[in-house]
Amino acid sequence: MTVHFQTLLLVIMVTGLVMAISVGAVANWHQRDGMTYWAVGLALHAISYFFVTQTGTLGEFGSFLIYILCRACSWAVFAEGLYQFCHRPAPRALIWTPVVLTGVSFVLLFDQLVARIIGTSLIGAVQVLLSLLFMWHMRHETPGRGKYFVIVGLVIALTLLLLRAAGATQGDPAAIVSLTTSTPIQAVSGFAVLTILMLLSIGFVLMSKDRADNLNRLLATRDELTGLANRRRMREVLTSEWSRASRSGQALALVMIDIDHFKNYNDQYGHQAGDVCLQQVAQSIAVCAARAGDLAVRYGGEEFLLILPDTEASDAQKLAQNLCQAVEALGLRHLNSPSGKVTVSVGLAVQTERLYEDAESLLRAADEALYHAKHGGRNQVQVALASLLPGTLVSRTPMKLVQLIWRRAYESGNPLIDAQHQTLFIDANKLLGAAFDGRPADEVEKLVQVFVADIARHFQDEEDIIKRAGYAGAAEHAQRHRILLAGARDLLTRFHGGSVGVGELFQYLVHEVVARHVLIADRDFFSSLNAALPEPGRLPTET
């Protein structure tokens, strides 16, 4: 079958212009996505073939010079588009020097057909190779499969130009540039050019679409202000990491962060300053999520969350402490903060050895630890008590990291209640120390007996005090006491019989009684306490 070359040229021009117009119609220069450059490149490539048909009007020299310059410019513009699409600075000297060399070589070698074809073809091959190497280098950073269409189109163009240069030395060079005869060489070249234009057009449009889709997915899982993951993404990752940790038995740490006195900061400095504060704190948090599997999340408002797979309690606490120091080191002025600077409170919970039944329980534990950090004076790290169970911390962890520390913020204002609460802290620390030191079961049992006795004495005295103070929920609070005390005595009996381990004892006495009840539930009646002093002689016996 014979292909009419001039008809093929017309098809190439029309196809190229239609594609250029289509790409240009959706291009937006302000988005700087390379689409405008690509549309111009397609138009130049298509228009260049018009000038090779104008030898009768412009002469062979003029028509072919414009043709060769348009084609060289099109490859340079394609390169500009690729660099802009990938948001990389374009090496313009490298991109546009071949265009100048193309014009110079054409003028100097115009009377030497073979040398002219070889020179202009090799310079064009260098231009294509520049774009091809850049695309190959950026392939991992370019989402989707459209990049492969562009790469294939560039490979075909490079091959065609190299074959054109080689063909000029071995065949009839006049046949390569002939416009009057429809030779196989011209037909193959024409179809190759048409294929190249289609691959480049479709490929670049697909690249733009793939990146837009990827950006939409990213925006759907990112917080717009801080750039951190949002709660939707957090849920996905937490569910996945929880399942993985459950299967592998590896630790999973959650670090919950809250900016101290942030409402006061907004009220004093304004919401724009508040946004800047959130962004700078978020940057400090993002630095902590340095590993590939870590995730920094804006949990909501001024709260943030770190998901740290395969992270033990001691490592997570060290990271959290470093974060507190890093935020304070930002030096953001905050007159309503005790330190005069913006600080954060941090709560930490770690899942090891199935301490928590599900991801929500782990999240609640981290939130509860954050509550203790905030009400314990702020600008500090608190670890969820359940995460301090024996066996959850590595042996290198200093003991001071797992001591329960009494703080003034825990005080009720009643001397007897506060003294008894401090005694329960002492009992908890003695039990924790005995468990970590591997003390004999009978010695641990004696400590638990004292612990339970102090709990019973405290509950009775507390009930008398809040009843006299007129606390409306005194009866309900007393009922909670009876349930907690019955549970403690039952666990002590089962521990004596060997059916319960020290870990379960610690979980109940420290987490349920001390953390949940003493430090949280008891706060309900603080405002009801009157100024009446407790009767003397009723302080609990220290152990």
If you search the block for the tokens 């349930």, which residue do you land on?
483
529: left (phi over 0), alpha (psi -120 to 50) or beta: beta
Closest of 92, 45, 50 to residue 72, by C-alpha: 45
**Beta bridge mates, 253:** 308, 350
Distance between terminal CA atoms of the chain? 105
Instruction: Give the active site residue among 224, 236, 241, 302.
Output: 302
Return d(Cα 423, Cα 540) in angstroms, integer: 7
Helix residue spans in 330-440 (DSSP H): 359-375, 415-437
Return d(Cα 43, Cα 284) in angstroms, integer: 48
DSSP-derived 3-state class of residue 27: coil
H/E element, 192: helix 184-220
* 371 φ, ψ (degrees, to nearest 5): -60, -45
H/E element, 190: helix 184-220
How are strands ordered across the β-sheet holding 252-259?
A: 295-300, 303-309, 252-259, 344-351, 381-383
Closest of 339, 341, 335, 242 to residue 284, by C-alpha: 341
Active site residue 302: yes
Return d(Cα 309, Cα 74) in angstroms, integer: 50
Closest of 392, 387, 352, 341 to residue 367, by C-alpha: 387
Active site residues: 302
